Each structure stands twice: as C-alpha cells, then as structure tokens.
Amino acid sequence: MPDQHEPRVHGHCDARFAAVRTAFEENFRERGELGAAVTVTLDGRTVADLWGGWADPARTRPWERDTLVNVWSTTKGPVALCAHILADRGLLDLDAPVAAYWPEFAAAGKERVLVRHLLSHRAGLAGLRERHTPAEFYDWELTTRRLAATEPWWEPGTRSGYHALTYGHLVGEVVRRVSGLLPGAFLEREVTGPLGVDFTVGLPEKEAGRAAELVPPPAAPSSERAAVFSQLAPAAVAALTNPAMGAAEANSPEWRAAEIPAANGHGTARAVAALYGILAGRGTFDGRRVLSAEAAEQVREGQGSCRDLVIGSGFAHDTEAGLGLWLSGPNGSYGPNPRALGHDGFGGSCGLADPEAGLSLGYVMNRMGSRIADDPRKMALVDAAYSAL
C-alpha cells in the first residue's frame, strides 16, 4: 500500500512551468493540502494539468483526473459569463434597470437598480433582511421572490458589498427571465456542452461518485468569532450568515440538487481553467468563439475601487469588481497585471484570466482554508505560473 501521508501528484507539466509542479507539491508538504488539482493554460494550450492527494478526509479515495469538487464562489465567473453572452447577443442591456426584465424587482425602492449593479456586487442586496434557512435557500422561487421584495442595505450603485450567496439568484433570475433557462441549464447549452467542459451548477446524482468531500476550515474560538461579527455591518452579517453555509451543507444531497449559481458549481481544475480561459482568450477558447472580443473586455470594466462592505477587512487595499469578476488590482490577487481578473471560492479555489498574458488558471481543492480570499496555496500557484512567463 502507498504511504497515505505522501503526496501523490499525477498529470503533466511543461518544463517551462516546472515551478507550478513544485508549488503544487509544496502545498501538500507545507500548506496542509488534502486533495487538489491545478490546470494552467497559455494561449489556449494546456501547459500544466496536475492532481493529487485524497478525495476524502479518511484518505480512502485518491483524487483522480476526473474528480469533481464544489468550488463555491469560483462559480460566479461562469454565471457572469451567461449574462455577458446574452448582452453580447443584444438580448440583455447591462445599463437597463433590472425591473425591465424582472418587474417584481422594482419593489422597496429598487426601480433604479441596474443589471450592472447585480454583476458588480453594488445592488445593496448582499443578504436578505428576514431570516432565510438553508432549506428555504434551496427553493429558487422563494429566494428570488424574497430578493425582489426586500429593501437594499445601502444606496445601490454607490459601493460594493460582496453578494456572497445572493449574487447567483440575482444574476441568475435575470438570465432566466431573458433566456427561459436557469443559469445552470443555460451554461450547459451555450458553453460547457459545446466545449465539452466538465462543470455543472449543482451536481447530477449520477456524478456523486466522482465528487470529493469538502473538509471545513479549523473553527475559530467562539469568543473570537463573536468579536469579529460584532464589528461587521448588518449587511455583512446578513451576507455571511443568512443562511450560514459550510462544508456540511455543501456535502449534502440537498445542496448538490439545488440551483445555487453563486456557490455550488462542481468541476475539475481543467474545467475552471477552460471557463476562465474564455476571458483570457478574449472571448475564445479551444478555437471556438463564445463572446465577442468587445464583450469579453467589458467583463473587466472596473466599477469603482472601494473598501467592500462585506469583505473589505480581509484585504490590505481597496478592491474593485468588474462586471462579474474581481480585478487583480494592487492586491495582486490574480497576479502582477492589475487588470487580470478572476474569482476565489470559499476555502481556497480560484479561477484566473489574464488576457494580456494569454494565461488562465484553475485551482480546486477539498480541504478548506480560513481566509476570505488569496489562500496561500492559491497564491503559491499563481506566483509560480507567472514566474514562468
């Protein structure tokens, strides 16, 4: 039997990108990795595709080439892509009021909230005001009905406040109103199906055997958690705790069966690199055009730098959202190009696109870290990829 404590890394890596393999192996030896995968593409060609470790905390299932895992908010990039595809076809105006497509949304002073405000976390709807349980959150109609009826926490359009869970229902309902399809089905029809990308919103029951089990981050002492939450604005508390979701929920059949476009995308690192690679390729991937070059560029149209109302304390600098993803900016979250863009997922996963470098990266894992973003494992891989350029 192999030594269960030794990292088992498989796959290929071009010699030029050997630093990525080194960083990936160090993640197991030095940064507590359990099971993970990373894929890097350059000008649409895969230059690193590595996986290793274990798909379960008992270390009974090796992480395989096709192991799937919940990537939390890394899902937001593909969901934003759905909206941009509709805009690119002239079916959705990002500068139109949301209520033009979703009339009920105009309630409680939201008649002037624009579609771009949803995409850039500026709609003021980071969380619901009334208590919303996990079971209620799995109900699409109930959740979108409550979002349409609720009052914003701040004046929409004035600043960002990370819409951790509500983002997918807000953008997704607009996608549904315009296309007739929930975002998961739209993404499959328009992108993942034609491109053969192994990524779904939710997880079909027949694929459950391929899914890795998420392991929660170490719990902070209750006194420490209470002190942190006492300093948060009400909008941040609502965004992060209404409902509170973690590894236990994400491992459940109910979570996997639901449509949660902000947080329950399941895929491989290869799939994440492909989806973000569409933006790195200025609208194309694997020789196929998904977005016009102009539409792909619009995704990273900055909406104003500020200290985010929900996640601002997790960064040394102000952050800036584009229209669906975050810009690398002074934090260097997605490498040294400040106009590179990407999205982190709760616990550590990441998708990255750098059109200037022609670079995309997908990183997925099952042992969740405790940082809001820029997990050390992710940053080691990002730094390694850029060192090869």
Q: Compute CA distances 213 → 36, 247, 287, 343, whole Å.
A: 11, 8, 34, 21
> Is 1 a residue whose pLDDT tops 60?
no
Distance CA 265, CA 163 (A): 16
Buried b (16+ CB within 10 A) or exposed e, 42-67: bebebbbbbbbbbbbeeeeebbbeeb
Q: What residues are annotated to the active site?
A: 73
* Token pair recorded at residue 126: 């980071």
Distances (CA, A) of 18 to 15, 33, 284: 5, 19, 26
CATH architecture assignment, domain 9-73+199-216+246-288+326-387: 3-Layer(aba) Sandwich (3.40)
- Closest alpha carbon to 197 in 205, 206, 187, 207: 187
Confidence check: pLDDT of 5 > 70: no
Encode pLDDT of 63-110 as tens digits.
Answer: 999 999 999 999 999 999 999 999 999 999 999 999 999 999 999 999
CA angle at 116 for the pair 113 and 121, rounded to the nearest 5°: 85
Inter-CA distances, 13 with 19, 40, 79, 296, Å: 9, 9, 29, 28
Identify the residue whose tokens are 């709807």: 125
Calpha distance 182→111 (Å, rounded): 23
Q: What is the pLDDT of residues 331-360, one digit of tens each?
A: 899 999 999 999 999 999 999 999 999 999
- Position 18, amino acid: A
16-44: pLDDT as tens digits: 999 999 999 999 999 999 999 999 999 99
Band of pLDDT at residue 226, cut at 50, 70 and 90: confident
3-state secondary structure 175-219: HHHHHCCCHHHHHHHHHHHHHCCCEEECCCHHHHHHECCCECCCC
Distance (Å, rounded) from C-alpha 115 to C-alpha 113? Answer: 7
* Spatial CA neighbour of 333 closest among 346, 324, 323, 320: 320
Largest distance between two CA atoms of the chain: 63
Q: What are the tens digits of pLDDT across the range 237-268?
A: 999 999 999 999 999 999 999 999 999 999 99
The percent of residues in the chain predicted with pLDDT above 70, rounded, is 98
Which pLDDT belongs to residue 43?
97
Residue 6: pLDDT band (50, 70, 90) is: low
Q: Is 0.75 topped by the overall pTM?
A: yes
CA dist., res. 235 & res. 165, Å (int): 12
